[in-house]
Structure 1
Amino acid sequence: MSRKRIAVIGAGISGLAAIKCCLWKFQKNPSEKMPMTSPYRTTFPNYMHNSKLMEYFRMYANHFGLLKYIRFKTRVRSVSKRPDFPTSGQWDVVVEAEGQRESLLFHGVLVCSGHHTDPHLPLQSFPGIEKFTGCYFHSREYKSPEDFSGKRIIVVGIGNSGVDIAVELSRVAKQVFLSTRRGSWILHRVWDNGYPMDSSFFTRFNSVLQKILTTASINNYLEKTLNSRFNHAHYGLQPQHRPLSQHPTVSDDLPNHIISGRVQVKPNVQQFTETDAIFEDGTVEANIDVVVFATGYSFSFPFLDGLIEVADNEVSLYKLMFPPNLEKPTLAVIGLVQPLGIVLPIAELQSRWAARVFKGLNKLPSAKKMMADIVQRKRAMERRYVKTVRHTIQVDHIEYMDEIASLAGVKPNLLLLFLSDPKLAMEVFFGPCTPYQFRLQGPGKWDGARRAILTQRERILKPLRTGVTSRDSRSSPGGLSWIRMAALGLALLAAGLTYFRHIKHSKQKS
């Protein structure tokens, strides 16, 4: 097949992954192995400072030769179907740079503009803000704390941005008040035995347990665990909803800043005056200098001219990627997800699948089936989450990754792994669910994936051991408990049933 021209809109984390996947998926010889970076023993800390993250992005772009494909300082003005779209699936993309517009033809479009694009600033919900004589702004405008020394500050919103800003400002401000309407469950980055939370929490073993156990029992366990670190009710943070009903907030520092008085938790602001804030519990904080609205974002696609409609932050996309009613599946949205986990590997996996769909190697179901899937996903989110604009694109990390990986033909086969490579299978099932797992088989298979998985714990611990004060006492996971054995047996049974159903279905088709 001839090479295709693909427009990637956005060069952030999703855009970089999309460019890389498009370049390698459209190679002439599909049997060529995709070059990958060899796993570093240590390069970066587990939780990177923004400067380190930027350094990683630059390394990624340079290693895969992506920069020459990026047009910087170029705005996409419109994306529209060509007149022959029903047969060609091609697009006209109008871009503008330095005041000059240009129309370009593309065979496919990957929209990677993200969902933190339009600051959500609901000022109508805060009567009197127009009379407030202090400074107020959306958290997107916040850069550093230096200009806020000695100020009395209210941060509205208890999401990750709100908490991070409140903690940082409290180091220089006279007083910081953290205003929250519902409260939130606070997760720590440092989890059991000092491991990063995501590497401990996001495992296939835990994913199986979540399917076996009741939602109530999981919520009970999470509440007990989170309250054992600090009692949320004592700190004025405990919400009425359970942990699984809201996107959690991650912060190791907030409890320390509350207990030291640098951050005071307050309920929702009922009204502002020229200088004061009146809260819903009747308390008043006078002489407020600054209000930071960490009230989240909404997303939109103005350049798509109505091709994807967004209402109250809700959008109808198959697998949160494909518009279901296009005559040709040559447009996809990448990274429009709010995962309980990290978005980077999800964006890459989405891009791998989208590239195969564009190429014609994978097919989408009928529009009717796609719409049914979209409705089912929306209903599941409504049942689970608190009703807010924040909970419209939520996904569970492993479950969603497996969903996309199955469609792309790269989901690891646990049953075959346990039969052929038990050591690897144990780490895949009980260890961190890292992106290497989706390079073990299928399109884009990487020969180094096995070694990368088996050595991933070393790379997690290596950045922490910058000054060893005693003999290295390596602790390996203990023997399998009966819970783990039961989960393992059920996982193998499920994998076996899935495998034999596939064999039976294949025989019926033949």
Structure 2
Amino acid sequence: MFLKSLTMSRHTLKVAVIGAGASGLCAARHLLSRPHVFAPPVVYELSDCAGGTWVYTDKVGMDDYGLPIHCSMYRDLRTNLPKEVMAFPDFPFDSQLPSFIHHSDVRSYLEQYADHFEIQPHVKFRTHVELLNPVSGTTGDAWNSWEVTSLNLNNHCRNTERFDSVIVCNGHYSEPFIPHIPEIEYFKGQKMHSHEYRFAEPFTGKNVVLLGAGPSGTDIALELCSVAKQVVLMHNHSLITSSMPQNFLQVKGLNRFSETGVICNDEREYPADVFMFCTGYKYSFPFLSKNVCLEVKDQRVAPLYKHIVHTTFPTLFFIGLCMTVCPFPLFHCQVLFALASLDGTHKLPPKAEMDAVTEDEYQSCLQNGIPHRHFHKLDSRQWGYNAELAQLSKTDPLAPVTRDLYEANKKFRKEDLCNYKRFNYKIVGDDTWITVKPKPL
């Protein structure tokens, strides 16, 4: 009833988008495609260009404005997903590019996307969102509008604007998560997080220990093997079984630090000139008012319905929180669901029902061995999730080939971590792809 009255009370809805990375650009693109329902969006972007995490810089630490550098990209990074499954469904990558592309190609793709859908004029660059606050509606029974207070970093002018809805697209690859490890204070080598890693040359001839075997940990470990004396990857996942470089070791069970290295559970010590945390990132929303009552506890964000909708304030949406997914297609599905919830295509259930559905999903995850901290880590659950969002928003589902190629690539990566990026793929139908064999070594 609340959202129905919202859509009927104004000619168009005014929506703010926080962040001009891939998910924010996707939100803006679809808001602009429905001018009969939505006013042109206002997109707030901290940096001076679109692209979010795909905008590379050599700098680490703080930027020229005293704000933390958000980039977690490294110089030689290539995607670990083929471009054929990475693209937004309505905007393919250049077919001339290889399947596993350099990060600069992804940035160029997002710039082309922004130009094609004429998003750039609606982005307020170099604008820092300081506060997002809910404002009580005129009926007194719902929080149905929002005030966004922002600071223009160029002229230092502060501004507050009011919106009917806000879509948060600020990403989650910028604030490092660093677990506590006993006796780390005694370690005399260099400590860093993968967020600060840019290129391999400074590690030449060194013993490097990395903690964490996610995509960044394994990828950086392989880069370092080309220059380091020894690379030790410590993790608690299943051991990597594919052929690896001779100076690569993997160890389970980090116990504590020594002055000169790390000690694992069997008391074996591994020397380390450098210790690198490849332990992921924390969700962070420093601009949210306390009135929003969003809880972030051990990597779970609540109360969110379908990982998107704030159940207390159902005009506040979060796009892209889910991990271990095919990101751009997932953003597409999430954005269309959010807009369907706003324009009345999909009527959201009452808060109690949304919370109950979320709790059922959470308990099901726990019963299936998925820990609390991985609630937003979808992996193969993403396909049913995306299909459900498409069904609820009455939009076209993702083509089956996206799932098929994504899952095949996951298998190939596990079998041959060093060489899987040499393959190229071609999609020849909604449910068919073919492999282009790699060039001989």
SS at match of 2:208: strand
| 1:262 and 2:224 are equivalent in the alignment | no
Name the structure with the higher strand share: 2
| 1:61 and 2:114 are equivalent in the alignment | yes
SS at match of 1:303: coil
Instruction: Give 1:355's match in structure 2, choosing from 314, 327, 339.
Output: 339
SS at match of 2:347: coil
| 1:342 and 2:326 are equivalent in the alignment | yes
Name the structure with the higher helix share: 1
Contact 1:349-1:401 at 8 Å conserved across structures:
yes
| 1:20 and 2:29 are equivalent in the alignment | yes
The Cα shift of 1:407 comes to 0.8
Distance 2:107 2:255 in 1: 39
| 1:82 and 2:135 are equivalent in the alignment | yes
Distance 1:393 1:38 in 2: 26
Distance 1:394 1:465 in 2: 30
Contact 1:14-1:112 at 8 Å conserved across structures:
yes
Question: Residue 113 and residue 185 in structure 1: after superposition, are their counterparts in 2 closer, same or farther (change >3 A)?
Answer: farther
Residues 218-257 of structure 1: matches in 2 within 5 Å? 232=241, 255-257=242-244
Residue of structure 1 equivalent to 2:422: none
SS at match of 2:118: coil
SS at match of 1:77: strand
Question: Residue 54 and residue 297 in structure 1: after superposition, are their counterparts in 2 closer, same or farther (change >3 A)?
Answer: same
SS at match of 2:31: helix
Residue of structure 2 equivalent to 1:101: 158
Structure whose alpha-carbon radius of gyration is higher: 1
Give, as a single letter, the amino acid of the residue that structure 1 aligns with 2:286. P
How large is the RMSD of aligned CA atoms in angstroms? 2.9
SS at match of 1:7: strand
The Cα shift of 1:280 comes to 1.1
Residue of structure 2 equivalent to 1:156: 211
Residues 79-478 of structure 1: matches in 2 within 5 Å? 79-84=132-137, 86=141, 89-98=144-153, 99-122=156-179, 124=180, 126-180=181-235, 182-184=236-238, 232=241, 255-257=242-244, 260-286=245-271, 288-306=272-290, 307=292, 308-315=294-301, 316-326=303-313, 329-339=314-324, 341-387=325-371, 389-394=373-378, 396-411=381-396, 431-433=401-403, 455=429, 464=436
- TM-score, normalising length: structure 2: 0.73
Give, as a single letter, the amino acid of the residue that structure 1 aligns with 2:229. K
The Cα shift of 1:312 comes to 1.4
Residue of structure 2 equivalent to 1:206: none
| Number of residues of Structure 1 aligned to a counterpart in Structure 2 | 353
Residue of structure 2 equivalent to 1:7: 16
SS at match of 1:296: coil
SS at match of 1:362: coil
The Cα shift of 1:46 comes to 2.2
Give, as a single letter, the amino acid of the residue that structure 2 aligns with 1:347. F
Distance 1:407 1:390 in 2: 24
Question: Residue 166 and residue 467 in structure 1: after superposition, are their counterparts in 2 closer, same or farther (change >3 A)?
Answer: closer
Unmatched segments (≥5 aa) in structure 2: 1-9, 39-88, 406-425
Question: Residue 129 and residue 39 in structure 1: after superposition, are their counterparts in 2 closer, same or farther (change >3 A)?
Answer: closer
Contact 2:174-2:195 at 8 Å conserved across structures:
no
Residue deviations 1:158-216, cap 9 Å, x none?
11111111111111101111111x22366xxxxxxxxxxxxxxxxxxxxxxxxxxxxxx
Question: Residue 4 and residue 346 in structure 1: after superposition, are their counterparts in 2 closer, same or farther (change >3 A)?
Answer: same
Residue of structure 2 equivalent to 1:71: 124
SS at match of 1:176: strand
RCO higher in structure (CA 8 A, sep ≥6)? 1
Residues 482-501 of structure 1: matches in 2 within 5 Å? none
Residue deviations 1:141-167, cap 9 Å, x none?
111111111111000111111111111
The Cα shift of 1:466 comes to 9.7
SS at match of 1:57: helix
